[in-house]
Structure 1
Amino acid sequence: MWRRLLSSSASCGFSPLVAGSKIKHYHFQGVRPYLEGDLIQEWLVSSFLKTKEYQLYSRNPAKNEFKLLSLPEPVEELYKSQAILSFEFESTYTAGKREKINHNQPLKFQKLQAEKNIKLIQTSRGGQITYHGPGQCVIYPILDLSLFKKLTSKCYVSTIEKTMKAVLQNRFGISTITNENTGIWIDDNLKISSIGCNVRRWITSHGISVNVNPDLKFMNDEDLVICGLPGKRQTSIKEQLQCKDTDLDLFEVATIFSDKLANKLGVSDVEHYKVEKRFNNTNVNELKNLFFS
């Protein structure tokens, strides 16, 4: 989805700048529409950005009085808490910044949606076309990189990649590699995990997905080039373990990932939540009770 931003041998060292930093992991249970997950992450990212804006204007309150009045009161929780969201989505193809859905490609995408009955959605993440669906664990770390010492966007991408590699190796005994194409691979032609991130004013969104036990036919369709990499194939944890058990736990995968990422970030306080409630445009403001209560 993204070309590699730095070599796997690059060294990234960082630590939280705020005492008492914690990470809260929210796993949204059940198979959900992709747009619900996007709504949730965009609401949280917006809250982070408004808090940063309030901090900026507060440095000179006399000059910025009217701007401060137009902003909501800052959420104290955002000064020291970071969030990780995890989802299992309905079957959806998403296009990143390098694959724009426009009038030059109507036949390609009309065929895609008509034959497969799967939505195609433009997103703000990096990369090209990718697939999300049941059996795939999608993880969105929503972090303020400026609250960590020396945590650049390049180091961040490398860190979530290394974190997922550790999950696959330590929990499932699956050895993986990295190459010139961002993502996690079994070998140069077989991909198990994809990365596509976005960073706005140091706030991260989107993130990483790992194929746990999805239907691989949607990713390995010869009519569709996933991640802009022709001739490559997607695999899964289930396929690599050659197991018949389809009840691999996505919450467990996301929980292990969150714990390991927190450790790499130097954060020792991690909380995990399972969320059953569904969200849409009519109740999106109830997310405040979920994240900040």
Structure 2
Amino acid sequence: MMEVKQNKKIEIKELGFKDYKETWDYQEQLFKEILDIKVKNRRENTQIETPNYLLSVEHPHVYTLGKSGDVSNLLINENQLEEKGAKFYKINRGGDITYHGPGQMVIYPILDLDNFFTDIHKYLRLLEETVILVLRDYGVKAERSEGETGVWLDVGTPFARKICAMGVRASRWVTMHGLALNVNADLGYFDNIVPCGIKEKAVTSLNVELGENYVDMEEVKQKFLDYFNELFDAEF
């Protein structure tokens, strides 16, 4: 079989404020498009380039449970969900339960890792590193927590708290789902879950860490894209 040329271009899709389920369906559509090209290349010995996408979005209040998650980590019932204007979905990413909502920068890279590197562990570590570098620009020292995905502050202390959740799915080296960085998030919504199934660990937001009412989301997003571009050797 002829080797398909690597395509390092990533198309950024700004989705604005969009319902979780609609965004999930759109992810699935793009994910399938890339997989179909890969199958065609293999079966027909063609060399069609696979595209890469990066979706940027904010969601209305929603709780999502990964395929290995425990539904008991959602601490409220259907009526309470409705009262809080929140939805709940079981989805096909890794990880347990998490919350998405206004004030959170959500990024879904739909990448063919054959265009970059075929290593899911490296992919997750680079996503974490991108967020760590963004936070460093704001004077916030963030790091990884051994055995736990995402990005944390004050790891190894009684004050450890998560600022960015991650959960991905991959098939034939094509990725979907991604990360959620709390920028101006309403942290009260995290009280209704055991975040990521990890008990006795707090959650925080960038504006809280900086002691500000509001942090410029567009500025945070641009920093993220710049570091992502650099670490993945990508082209936007």
Normalising by structure 1, we get a TM-score of 0.71
Which residue pairs with 1:71 in the alignment?
none
- Written as runs of structure 1 = structure 2, the 5 A alignment for 1:19-168 is 21-29=8-16, 31-59=17-45, 79=49, 81-99=51-69, 101=71, 109-110=77-78, 112-149=80-117, 151-168=118-135
Structure of higher CA gyration radius: 1
Identify the match of residue 171 of structure 2 among 191, 200, 209.
Answer: 200
CA distance in 1, matches of 2:73, 2:154: 32
Residues 95-129 of structure 1, C-alpha deviations (whole Å, 9 max, x = no match): 0112255xx99995436525534111011111111
Contact 2:61 2:102 in 1 (8 A): yes
Long gaps (5+) in structure 1: 1-16, 62-73, 271-293
CA distance in 2, matches of 1:105, 1:241: 29
1:258 aligns with 2:225: yes
CA distance in 1, matches of 2:24, 2:83: 25
Q: Give the SS at the match of 1:238.
A: helix
Identify the match of residue 173 of structure 1 among 133, 139, 142.
Answer: 139
Residues 124-169 of structure 1, C-alpha deviations (whole Å, 9 max, x = no match): 11111100000001101111112224x3011101111111111111
Equivalent pairs, count: 228
1:201 is displaced (CA, Å) by 1.1
CA distance in 2, matches of 1:165, 1:107: 30
CA distance in 2, matches of 1:249, 1:158: 25
Which residue pairs with 1:237 in the alignment?
206
CA distance in 1, matches of 2:107, 2:73: 29
CA distance in 2, matches of 1:129, 1:250: 24
The percentage of aligned residue pairs carrying the same residue is: 34
Higher relative contact order (CA closer than 8 Å, sequence separation 6+): 1
Q: Give the SS at the match of 2:142.
A: coil
1:57 is displaced (CA, Å) by 1.1
Which residue pairs with 2:184 in the alignment?
213
Normalising by structure 2, we get a TM-score of 0.87
Moved over 6 A (4+): 104-107
Contact 1:33 1:90 in 2 (8 A): yes
Change beyond 3 A, Cα 1:19–1:126? closer
Name the Cα RMSD after superposition. Answer: 2.4
1:26 is displaced (CA, Å) by 1.6
